[in-house]
Amino acid sequence: MLLDEAGRTNDRIFLAGNAGERLISSVAAFVDFAGRYAELGFTDLVFHHPRPGDPAWSGDPAWSDGPAMVEKIALEALPSLR
């Protein structure tokens, strides 16, 4: 039986690591990232919440407002991406 016949979906989840691209550096960066991965068929994005002392964020200007940016993305970008 196919998943859609059973009333279920086959979600495609992308776990974004800490390699290079900073998808949560701004609302625009997140929307761009989400759009590109949606075009590839991904239905969900997962990323690590920035935290003080995280070596992936050390020296990155986006860290200064990292936690606040996550909140801003949730409020401004997510509603339009669902």
Enumerate the H helices of the chain as residue ranges: 27-39, 66-76, 78-81
* pTM strictly above 0.85: no
* pLDDT at residue 1, rounded to an integer: 46
- Percentage of the chain lying above the pLDDT 90 cut: 21
Separation between Cα atoms, residue 67 and residue 2, nearest integer Å = 40
Q: What are phi and psi of 65, to 5 degrees?
A: -130, 30
Given a contact cutoff of 8 angstroms between Cβ atoms, the answer to whether 73 and 30 are in contact is yes
Residue 40 has pLDDT above 50, yes or no: yes
* pLDDT at residue 64, rounded to an integer: 60
Name the residue with higher pLDDT: 65 or 26: 26
pLDDT tens figures, 41-60: 998 888 877 776 666 555 55
Amino acid 74 reads A
Domain extents in the chain: 13-52+60-81
Non-local (6+) Cβ contacts of 6 within 8 A are none
